[in-house]
Amino acid sequence: MQTSLVILAAGKGTRMQSDLPKVLHQVAHAPLLVHAMRSGAALEPAHQVIVAGHGADAVAAAAAEEDPDARVVLQEEQLGTGHAVMQARDDLAGFDGTVIVLYGDTPFITGDTLAAMVTARADHDVVVLGFDANDPARYGRLKMDGDTLTAIVEYKDASDEERAITLCNSGVMACDAGLLFALLDKVSNDNASGEYYLTDVVALARAEGRSATAVICPQEETLGVDSRAGLARAEALFQARARTELLELGVTLTAPDTVHLAHDTIIGRDVVIEPNVVFGPGVTVETGATLRAFSHLEGCHVSRGAIVGPYARLRPGAELAEDTHIGNFVEIKNATIAEGAKVNHLSYIGDASVGEKTNIGAGTITCNYDGFMKHHTEIGAGAFIGSDTMLVAPVRVGDRAMTATGSVITEDVPDGALALARARQDTKPGRAIRLFEFLKARKEKARKEQA
Ligand code: UD1
């Protein structure tokens, strides 16, 4: 059965206290909307329509980045969930499969749950996703008669008896497309909120003798975000799930609760991740690498057997080949570090390439920025960069070349050459002792004058 998605994302999210539309707040570095789109993508939908309102342009841009085929329609006034779904009608004209309604602020609905709803749709005209709530609060209540869903009653409109029901509406609904829009035409706003409720579709379908049922999922999946606290809860839930997934895939996390992952982090088997490692987006770590404590990685690739950290920072474009070592207080940005190369202490390597088995001494800096432009540093294979070398880009240090400690390298160093670029040492025998005595006497004199 073909499916199409309608994702509701017009709400302002007043409780977020934010200038950003609610669905663009991020969990694990991806907007809530993108999480919802990915849930639905598991069904390989024929169409995807996002109903935007507040911040529609920004919402449309985020949607297009995730899926250029997604359509975005504007709901100018937020008159209720039923009214919101109606905005998708023109975009779904001619589509006669199942419409699945999702919320853009509800990021954890799984593909399996949606697949179960589609399966249930084979026998029912309307399928609603429900959950047994620990605290049903202000959710809509599902009124069941055996397997039949007879109605959804909004909290504000519910009797005490109905409020005692703990089976609640997640907001996700699957319905035959033609039926959905025909029934929405009949929905009125004659209720306690003065809104056009999507949920009224259930009772209207039943009144026409159509069948409706509920699929039940764990409450956790239905977690929606409508406040910063809710966003923090969603982040915590994402992290907990992602960590568990990594452990199951054969990754060692010595202190799982301290490791923060991004929505797209990819980690191979037998990688060891020590405490307090943080992943921004776009990180891939291959089998058998070790990420030591307090390292921060984003937009980078770490190959087999590499050792990173403790306290290393890999920024976008850092490409570490096999068996590289990146040590403490080292920052790598837009740079390739070839197999077996080492940058172990207190260095900045940016806009650079470092050849195989090259050793970069402590405190080496690629001076890549002149205040206007970034410039490249090339370091060959088997080279040795002395500690505290400044490499003023653009510059090339050849294969098996050396720079002397403390050098400021402004000219290319040919293959096999040694470059010394610092002032020659001038040693004065006994001069330090005389200097100490002179300084001590001067301090004593100043003290007496003050007394
Ligand atoms: C809705 C359901 C309720 C369910 C609850 C689950 C209705 C009438 N009620 O409650 O049964 O238990 O969700 O969270 O459907 N939206 C729009 N345009 C609108 C109104 C809402 O795009 O005009 C979007 C919101 O941005 C949000 C979603 O729809 O993503 C749900 O709206 P919200 O106001 O949070 O839900 P309720 O109506 O309280």
- Is 272 within the bounds of a domain? no
- pLDDT tens profile 188-221: 999 999 999 999 999 999 999 999 999 999 999 9
Any idea what the CATH number is for the domain that residue 381 is in?
A: 2.160.10.10
**Ligand 1 atom closest to residue 75's alpha carbon, by position in its atom list:** 18
Tell me the best of 16, 81, 138, 152 to mutate to test the pocket of ligand 1, counting ligand atoms within 8 Å of each CB and taking the most: 81
pLDDT digits (tens, 9 = 90+) for 364-383: 999 999 999 999 999 999 99
Q: Both 42 and 166 in a single domain?
A: yes
- Of the residues 196, 222, 248, which one is the last residue of a structural domain? 222
284-321 pLDDT, tens digit per residue, is 999 999 999 999 999 999 999 999 999 999 999 999 99
- What pLDDT does 1 receive? 81
Number of domains, the chain: 2
Q: For residues 56 and 205, state if they share a domain.
A: yes
pTM greater than 0.75:
yes
DSSP-assigned letter for residue 402: E
Residue 244 placed within a domain: no
Mean pLDDT (the chain) is 98
CA of 286 to the centre of ligand 1 (A): 42
Residues involved in catalysis: 345
- 122 domain-assigned: yes
* pLDDT > 70: percent of the chain: 100
In a shared domain, residues 338 and 203:
no
Indicate if 334 and 208 belong to the same structural domain.
no
Q: Partners of 39 in the beta sheet?
A: none
Which ligand 1 atom lies nearest to the CA of residue 226?
Answer: 35
Domain identity same for 88 and 213: yes
Nearest CA to ligand 1 atom 39: 139
Whether 334 and 218 share a structural domain: no
326-332 average pLDDT score: 98
Beta bridge partners of 301: 284, 319
Residue 251: pLDDT band by 50, 70, 90 thresholds?
Answer: very high
46 and 187 belong to one structural domain: yes
- Per-residue pLDDT tens digits for 16-35: 999 999 999 999 999 999 99
Q: Which residue among 187, 222, 257 closes a domain?
A: 222
The domain that holds 42 is classified in CATH as 3.90.550.10
The answer as to whether 393 is a domain residue is: yes
CA of 279 to the centre of ligand 1 (A): 33
| Ligand 1 contact, 381 CB (< 6 A) | no
Residues 211 and 93 in one domain: yes
* pLDDT at res. 199: 98
Any ligand 1 atom below 6 A from CB of 40? no
pLDDT band at 85 (very low <50, low <70, confident <90, very high): very high
Whether residue 152 contacts residue 206, with contact meaning beta carbons closer than 8 Å, is answered with: no
pLDDT band at 140 (very low <50, low <70, confident <90, very high): very high
Residue 123 has pLDDT above 90, yes or no: yes
Domain boundary among 193, 222, 251: 222
Q: Is residue 300 part of a domain?
A: no
CB 303 within 8 A of CB 286: yes
Buried b (16+ CB within 10 A) or exposed e, 187-197: beeebeeebbb
Does residue 317 lie within any of the structural domains? no
* CA of 78, closest atom in ligand 1: 23
8 and 154, same domain (yes or no): yes
What does the alpha-carbon distance between residue 315 and residue 324 come to, in Å, rounded to a whole number? 16
Q: Does residue 55 line the site of ligand 1, with CB under 6 A?
A: no
The Å distance, Cα 81 to ligand 1 centre, comes to 5
Domain that holds residue 133: 3-222
By DSSP bridging, strand 167-176 and strand 98-103 are antiparallel
Residue 168 forms part of a structural domain:
yes
Evaluate whether residue 311 is within a structural domain.
Answer: no
Beta-carbon contacts of 225 under 8 Å, excluding residues fewer than 6 positions away, are 13, 22, 25, 27, 32, 105, 106, 107, 231, 233, 234
Whether residue 17 sits in one domain with residue 139:
yes
What DSSP letter does each residue of 96-133 carry, written as one string? -SEEEEEETT-TT--HHHHHHHHHHHTT-SEEEEEEE-
